[in-house]
A and B are shown apart, each in its own frame.
Chain A
Amino acid sequence: MHPFDIRAVLLAKHAQHVVLIHFPIALFIVGVLFDFLAQWKKQHLLATVAYYNLFVAAISTIPVVVTGILAWQWELEGQKLKGILLMHLVMGCMSSVLICLVWFIHRKTQGKQGKVLPGYRLPIEAVAAVLVAVTGHLGGFLSGVNGPG
């Protein structure tokens, strides 16, 4: 497939998931880094940057989950999954929920005077970041990025 063959890329039944997944991964990890920096440096601006990264990360999980499930239904005809594929599916769903949860925690205080972000968000963000990394690792393993193809 030619990389600039838009038609082929759009019609490839499970290529979209592999492309789109990079957005929430990158945005979430950067968002968490900014939030930890904001906590450490006590800078409101960094917290705002973290919020917008987490916001877009949460939104971008929707097409990722949809295309992932469509890939399962189209390419594998929805057959019962096991092993790495099942782990990737379960951990992917858990990662998406945690990304949205982290954004929701931030949203409750964003733009509100006197509201402070709760401290418990940090361990949640750390766990979510690890889960995202492991899910991404499994996805890369499955897609064969290290293979000869």
Chain B
Amino acid sequence: MRRSVFVVIGSALLTIGFVMVVDGRGGFASSAQDKASTTEVKIDNFSFGPAAITVGVGSTVTWINRDDIPHTVVSTDDPKAFKSKVLDTDEKFSFTFTRAGTFPYFCSIHPKMTGKVIVQ
């Protein structure tokens, strides 16, 4: 009887420990991934904010238009690495950077609006 109790308690502890380890690894992994993969750039008042960001390779940058008027997000390099459609208010555009480098971009409707993504 006493042995059975020890087995049950031991099994339970092992299970709990296993779950904690797996969950901990998953949690660690996903939080690191979040840091690396999700970056938001806000478009407002005729500017990109922040105008320059640094992200890791494989990260996705999302631009969201919080301005009252339409904007675009177009890379200045040739051929263009990325180019959004016209973004109306609250519309988003996302791009995943798969290689390192500096990617300057601008709004093709308002060429004075510029920004830069540095991928390391």
Q: What is A's interface to B at a CB cutoff of 8 Å?
A: 12, 75-77, 79, 81-85, 141-144, 147-149
Among candidates B69, B72, B85, residue contacting A144 with C-beta atoms closer than 8 Å = B69
What separation, in Å, do the CA atoms of A60 and B86 have in the docked complex? 28
Q: Of B11-19, B93-101, B109-117, which binds chain A?
A: B109-117
**Residue from the list A76, A141, A147 in contact with B86, Cβ < 8 A:** A76
Q: How far is the CB of B78 from chain A (nearest CB, A)?
A: 14
The reply to whether A85 and B46 form a contact with Cβ atoms under 8 Å apart is no
Closest to A147 in B: B46
Q: Per a CB cutoff under 8 Å, which of A76, A83, A149 touches B46?
A: A149
Interface pairs (29), CB distance under 8 Å? A75-B108, A75-B109, A76-B72, A76-B86, A76-B108, A76-B109, A77-B83, A79-B85, A79-B86, A81-B86, A82-B86, A82-B88, A83-B70, A84-B69, A84-B70, A85-B70, A85-B86, A142-B69, A142-B109, A143-B109, A144-B69, A144-B110, A144-B112, A147-B46, A147-B110, A148-B46, A148-B47, A149-B46, A149-B113
Is B102 at the interface (CB under 8 A from chain A)? no
Let me know if B33 is at the binding interface, CB within 8 A: no
Which residue of chain A has its CB nearest to the CB of B72? A76
Closest to B88 in A: A83
A77: nearest chain-B partner, CB-CB:
B83
Interface of A is mostly: loop
Tell me the count of chain B residues lying within 8 A, CB to CB, of chain A.
Answer: 16
Interface status of B45 (Cβ within 8 A of chain A): yes
- Ranked 6 nearest A-B pairs via Cβ: A147-B46, A149-B112, A75-B108, A83-B88, A144-B46, A144-B110
* B72 touching A141, Cβ below 8 Å: no
Interface centre among B70, B72, B112 (most CB of A within 10 A): B70
Question: Which chain A residue shows the least CB distance to B47?
Answer: A148
Q: Known contacts A147-B45, A148-B47: does B70 contact A142 (CB below 8 Å)? A: yes
Q: How far is the CA of A83 from the CA of B83 in the complex (A)?
A: 19
Q: B110: which A residues are within 8 A, CB to CB?
A: 143-144, 147, 149
- Bound Cα distance A106, B108 (Å): 40
Chain A residues with CB under 8 Å of B45's CB are: 147-148
Q: Interface readout for B38-50 with A: 1 if CB under 8 Å, 0 if not? A: 0000000111000
Taking CB atoms and an 8 Å cut-off, the chain B residues in 21-49 that contact chain A are 45-47
Give chain A residues whose Cβ lies under 8 Å from the Cβ of B88.
Answer: 82-83
